[in-house]
Amino acid sequence: MEDIDLPQRRLSRVRKSLWFMAAITALLLVVGYLWRSAQPSSQPAGSYASAFGGPFTMTDQTGRTVTEQTLRGKPYAIFFGFTRCPDVCPTSLNRMALLRKQLGADGDKFNIIFVSVDPVHDTRAGIGHYLTLFGTPIIGLTGTAAQLAQIVKAFHIYYEKVPVEGGDYTIDHSATIFLIDADGQFVTTISHQEDQKVALQKLKRLIA
């Protein structure tokens, strides 16, 4: 019996040793993770702030040249769309108008900017008329294909023409609203599905 039990006892000790080693290894991994998490990030502090935005030159509905430099000095919310958009664009612009109203007197502390991704159809006059429908001051921007490509690249915007019946087209595009501070630095976004109270708090922090 002793000859039989001896291997079993040895096997039991081996199993205990393996469990002990596994526990120590897991503990070391946790300690290592916590130590790394506590270290200063090697990522530059401004890298996140510069993730969206950059140099661009566009024209507003009055014919004035607008660049990222001319917009500095006042925070802004910028949205990309087109005037013939049936749903996302009017919904987003109406939402921004409502948020501005909810801010009361502070609503004038930031600009709302609409960038057309359809320079073929969206003339300056057309954009100007379209934006009057939302009952709040909105800066409308348009430009050449090259100028549009520059600002779209700066904000990592997706848009694509989609053919429809009759030889016409609509446009699929990003529905994100970008919040930029008075120094021209990206702060955060408001998504299309964002809760209105959360969006309002983001704007309050933007203009604080």
The pLDDT value given to residue 28? 41
The pLDDT value given to residue 50? 62
Is the CB of residue 197 less than 8 Å from the CB of residue 102?
no
Q: What angle do CA 132, 81, 186 make, to 5 degrees?
A: 100
Instruction: Evaluate whether residue 51 is within a structural domain.
Output: no
- Between residues 137 and 50, which one has the greater pLDDT? 137
Do 195 and 105 belong together in one domain? yes
Do 105 and 158 belong together in one domain? yes
Instruction: Evaluate whether residue 130 is within a structural domain.
Output: yes
Instruction: Evaluate whether residue 65 is within a structural domain.
Output: yes
Please name the residue that has the structure tokens 């915007």.
Answer: 157
Do 30 and 72 belong together in one domain? no
Do 132 and 29 belong together in one domain? no
The pLDDT value given to residue 159? 96
Q: Is the pLDDT of residue 153 over 50?
A: yes
The pLDDT value given to residue 122? 97
Do 13 and 72 belong together in one domain? no
Closest CA to 185 of 41, 47, 43: 47
Instruction: Evaluate whether residue 3 is within a structural domain.
Output: yes
Do 81 and 183 belong together in one domain? yes
For residue 199, the domain's CATH number is 3.40.30.10
DSSP E strands: which ranges in the chain? 57-60, 65-67, 76-81, 111-116, 139-142, 159-163, 169-173, 177-180, 186-190
Please name the residue that has the structure tokens 């409308």.
Answer: 140
The pLDDT value given to residue 107? 97
Instruction: Evaluate whether residue 77 is within a structural domain.
Output: yes
The number of folded domains in the chain is: 2
Do 19 and 61 belong together in one domain? no
- Burial classification of residue 151, based on how many CB atoms lie within 10 Å of its CB (0-12 exposed, 13-18 middle, 19 or more buried): buried
Instruction: Evaluate whether residue 199 is within a structural domain.
Output: yes
Q: State pLDDT tens for residues 23-38.
A: 444 444 444 444 343 4
The pLDDT value given to residue 51? 78
**Boundaries of domain holding 165:** 57-207
Do 146 and 106 belong together in one domain? yes
